[in-house]
Amino acid sequence: MRYLPLSEGDRSAMLSVIGAGSIDDLFVDVPAEARQAGPIPGLPLHASEMAVERHMARLSAESLTAGEAPFFLGAGAYRHHVPASVDHLIQRGEFLTAYTPYQPEIAQGTLQVLFEFQTQVARLFGTDIANASLYDGSTASWEGITMAGRITRRKKAVLSSGLHPHYVETARTMARFTGDALVTSAPVLAAAADDDAVIAAIDADTACVVVQYPDVLGRIPDLARIAVAAQAQGALLVAVVTEPVALGLLESPGALGADIVVGEGQSLGVGLQFGGPYLGLFGCREKFVRQMPGRLCGETVDAEGRRGFVLTLSTREQHIRREKATSNICTNSGLCALAFSIHLSLLGGTGLERMAHLSHARARATADRLAQVPGVEIVNTAFFNEFAVTLPRDARQVVRDLAERKVLGGVSLGRLYPGETALANGLLVAASECTTAEDIDALGTALEEVLV
Amino acid sequence: MNDLNPAGWRPAMSADQGESAAVTTFTGNRALQLEEPLLFEIGSADRCGVDFDEAPDLPDALGAFRRKASLDLPGLSEPEAVRHYTRLSRQNYAIDLGLFPLGSCTMKHNPRLDEKVARMAGFADVHPLQPQQTVQGALKVINELAHWLIALTGMHGVAMTPKAGAHGELCGLLCIRAALEARGDAREVILVPESAHGTNPATAAFAGYRVENIPATEDGRVDVAALTARLGPDVAGVMITNPNTCGLFERELKTIADAVHAAGGYVYCDGANFNAIVGRVRPGDLGVDAMHINLHKTFSTPHGGGGPGSGPVVLSEALAPYGPLPFTARQADGSVRLVEEEDAPGIHPEGFGRMCAFHGQMGMFTRALAYILSHGADGLRQVSGDAVLNANYVLRGLEDVLEAPFGAAGPCMHEALFSDDGFAEGFSTLDLAKGLIDEGFHPMTVYFPLVFHGAMLVEPTETESKAGLDQFIGTMRSLAERAREGDPLLKSAPHLAPRRRLDETLAARKPKLVWKA
């Protein structure tokens, strides 16, 4: 009970001020049959800090961590080195334990960070503006689709087969209830991204095409060509970036004509975290600002004319428009946005480019090594930090066999696409600046052993 | 540097503005309160605070899409970055600095043990798609937390993946919709009481429902007669908040739930206020079918300037078969299995799919579990007891100087509601809130709930001491007095914050959302 400051003496003194006999009397409005007389049965009682820490440490030890093993997983979550100063700074109590900045006079720290974050994201994506973050890449993608629907007043979205299958599943869940029509297909393991198939599916009813860049198999679609084809039909291009580090080397989606760019910001500052919390990124053309979901920070002045920042354009939001709101989102990923922003500030444009260059080089070295393993075929011709290979047998089992040898060897396509037997032998392999030559060799050797 | 201070070197402020320390400096700094330029004004694209290895010299495999121009993003060296963000942090109020009496938002102490465990490598440095045998520690945390949530709420199942409270609302409504569809029942309407969070109607609309409002009674609770009269074959469900946003317990929730069930609908409970009853009342016993739990409110996760949150949804027996993927299940051998699409057709045939990529907010799960284990079943009961005790203490301490519209409607739960009735002409709740800033407190929640004019919703939480509450009550009494008398200094507050009142109209009229040179 170390977190509770009231003493028994305080409690009695306060109860007498209130005029109640006991704390239980304050729950008089709860129907008697629903009131628990004592602690809810079947649950343990309080534990000391030491005991809780020991329990959690024991559980933690039951996982094989990315840092302990040669590690090659990606598919929408990437392992990068996060400078120590990032975690130190986000743990400052004034950031960590601050509330949503609804009282701007005493939240300028958070607000200035959000304004800087918005600017960084807009520059990275090549969009006019960006918001102060959403939950994650998958939910941001759905928000991009619904926003395109509001703008075009159409209900059909064409999803490229290179879009992360979990993002497709998220959209499918939502579309089932909103009545949006989604056009999807499973990817074909071919060297090139299937830009032609996406373009062929666009028609006069299409609100948007959603194209991941680089896509889930690591291929790099021709966004500029797709943008032209979409816009010719009055549709919008929603580009999805699950690995923002790629934009250190690749042309930004906005510069290639994307109208809305969404992404997963986990790569910078946030870490793997077993899938969350992550960081939804969202940028778009300035003319769409009033249709944009999520929180926005804007610059203004105070009563003395000094520059300051506030949350703005909240007339789009749920607390004002209720059932007519642009979205029901009530929060952002503020702390993750802070971590992203600090990491990106430490990198700068030059650092991000070097980080991207290094990730790309290590991925190429990995591909070169795997190409020497008998039975392994590299699928991609072009890629950034992640590529697909085909194996001579079901990749799910191969991944488990590698794990037995303490090598985390990638993500099997069978796990991502459980119904698609044509993809069952596919394996996604990702590298980053954390990948060492020893890691690459360990993967190659282990793969040679398990494929025998 | 003059750009930082658009007025240039400013003369001392005049005494009639009420400045006690009206000294203006060249830098804009005020002793330890430092002005900090924007990143874009101090960084440069060629500066970098991270060292990298040399990359091996190989031809690139990027195809035709290599970036032509370099990225226009400023960089900082490590000392510059540390100073930039440390200085910015000092312009924030935070629960670590003092009382944060935000009704409906529950800003309580954040135990640092929870931060420590969230960073343990077995939870933080594991990939969501690692083979299941390599992530048993992380899966066991999810499963153990799920067990607690089910036990504390008296429900049947829990969907762990929703990423925030509003996302949990959506999840709960989708479960309701999926259950109705499974019995071939296409209902169209969700009833939402007036006192509900603004996310509730927005969520219902996003789930494809038509929203109808239900009025509140004069004592701040749902008008049960109006609600039951509206029930019918077109009503899919009711979204209700309990304890409600007026800080009161909905005494008739069981009656409402029975009526809704009899009419073929389901009851969604907004669990944002579960903090007030945790360990004492199980919502399942009151007939709730789905309720999200804001882990960050009830079980203390740092608010981080707006998030991330986490909104697991507990489900009744009727709705549990429809929850989203993935979820965890304990096996006979003690290991935990992650049920994904591959297993779903056999194990979870009616589930509606994913709400998001991956498994939800692991970093919040570890924090919540550490907090729950620290308190235990006995401590959580004390948590809700102290939260309610503190709120009633504040209510009694202020009700003679501030109008408390529902002060006689029964004990308040964890939050106390006041209005600006009796303030001098032209003085409002906002002025009192800004006055609190000068006194070193974060303002309470203002203008919410919308049920009457000038609302002030005060939630002290269980982690405030009696001495701290006495100081807050004394401060509020003094501010209430000044608002009644029409003190002009209150009207122009805050005077001592890093910024005076900010022009929100200008920000909305001419949005400047990104920095431009």
Three-state DSSP class for residue A315: helix
Which residues does chain B have within 8 Å of residue A312's beta carbon, measured at their own beta carbons? 504, 507-508, 511, 513
Three-state DSSP class for residue B353: coil
The reply to whether residue A365 touches residue B56, judged by beta carbons under 8 angstroms, is yes
The two three-digit tokens of residue B251, written as one number: 């005494």
Helices A437-450 and A395-404, packing angle to 10 deg: 120
Which residues does chain B have within 8 Å of residue A24's beta carbon, measured at their own beta carbons? 385
User: What pTM did the predictor assign?
Assistant: 0.96
Q: Does B410 touch chain A (CB under 8 A)?
A: yes
Q: What is the pLDDT of residue B20?
A: 45
B140: nearest CA in chain A? A59
The reply to whether residue A35 touches residue B136, judged by beta carbons under 8 angstroms, is no
Which residues does chain B have within 8 Å of residue A128's beta carbon, measured at their own beta carbons? 514
Minimal CA–CA distance to B105: which of B286, B369, B267, B302?
B302
- The answer to whether B173 and B268 are in contact (CB under 8 A) is yes
Q: What is the pLDDT of residue B10?
A: 38
The reply to whether residue B370 touches residue A52, judged by beta carbons under 8 angstroms, is yes
Which residues does chain B have within 8 Å of residue A308's beta carbon, measured at their own beta carbons? 499, 502
- The answer to whether B343 and B315 are in contact (CB under 8 A) is no
The reply to whether residue B366 touches residue A62, judged by beta carbons under 8 angstroms, is no
Helices A334-370 and A108-125, packing angle to 10 deg: 30
Q: Does B356 touch chain A (CB under 8 A)?
A: yes
Distance of alpha carbon B376 from alpha carbon A180, whole angstroms = 45
Q: What is the pLDDT of residue B22?
A: 56
Q: What is the pLDDT of residue B293?
A: 97
Task: Name the strand (E) or helix (H) holding A307.
Answer: strand A307-311
Minimal CA–CA distance to A286: which of B208, B75, B458, B512?
B512
Q: Does A215 touch chain B (CB under 8 A)?
A: no
Residue type (1 letter), B93: Y
| Tens of pLDDT, residue by residue, chain A (452 residues) | 899 999 999 999 999 999 999 999 999 999 999 999 999 999 999 999 999 999 999 999 999 999 999 999 999 999 999 999 999 999 999 999 999 999 999 999 999 999 999 999 999 999 999 999 999 999 999 999 999 999 999 999 999 999 999 999 999 999 988 889 999 988 888 777 789 999 999 999 999 999 999 999 999 999 999 999 999 999 999 999 999 999 999 999 999 999 999 999 999 999 999 999 999 999 999 999 999 999 999 999 999 999 999 999 987 787 777 888 888 888 899 999 999 999 999 999 999 999 999 999 999 999 999 999 999 999 999 999 999 999 999 999 999 999 999 999 999 999 999 989 999 999 999 999 999 999 999 999 999 999 98
Please name the residue that has the structure tokens 């024991």.
Answer: A58
Count of other CB atoms within 10 angstroms of residue B401: 18
- The DSSP annotation for A15-58 comes to HHHHT-SSGGGGGTTS-GGGB-SSSPTTS-B---HHHHHHHHHH
Chain A segment 295-354 residues within 8 A of B by beta carbon are: 295-310, 312-315, 317-325, 327-336, 338, 341-342, 344-354
- The DSSP annotation for B28-93 comes to S-BTTB-----HHHH-BTT--S---PPPP------TT-B-SSPP---B--HHHHHHHHHHHHTTB-
Q: Nearest CA of chain A to the CA of B368: how many Å? A: 12
The reply to whether residue B119 touches residue A308, judged by beta carbons under 8 angstroms, is no
Chain B segment 461-500 residues within 8 A of A by beta carbon are: 462-466, 468, 492, 494, 497-500
Chain A segment 268-297 residues within 8 A of B by beta carbon are: 271-278, 289, 295-297
The reply to whether residue B254 touches residue A31, judged by beta carbons under 8 angstroms, is yes
Q: Does B280 touch chain A (CB under 8 A)?
A: yes
DSSP annotation of A181:
E
Which residues does chain B have within 8 Å of residue A415's beta carbon, measured at their own beta carbons? 129, 340, 342
| Tens of pLDDT, residue by residue, chain B (517 residues) | 334 444 443 333 344 444 444 567 888 888 888 999 999 999 998 899 999 988 777 788 888 889 988 899 999 999 999 999 999 999 999 999 999 999 888 999 999 999 999 999 999 999 999 999 999 999 999 999 999 999 999 999 999 999 999 999 999 999 999 999 999 999 999 999 887 778 889 999 989 999 999 988 888 899 999 999 999 999 999 999 999 988 899 999 999 999 999 999 999 999 989 999 999 999 999 999 999 999 999 998 889 999 999 999 999 999 999 999 999 999 999 999 999 998 888 899 999 999 999 999 999 999 999 999 999 999 999 999 999 999 999 999 999 999 999 989 889 999 999 999 999 999 999 999 999 999 999 999 998 887 778 999 999 999 999 999 999 999 999 999 999 999 999 999 999 999 999 999 999 999 999 999 8
CA dist A53 → B111, B245, B373 (Å)? 12, 36, 10
Q: Give the ipTM of the model, two decimals please.
A: 0.97
Given CA atoms B267, B272, B275, B279 in this order, what sign does their dihedral have?
Answer: positive
Q: What is the CA radius of gyration of chain A?
A: 25
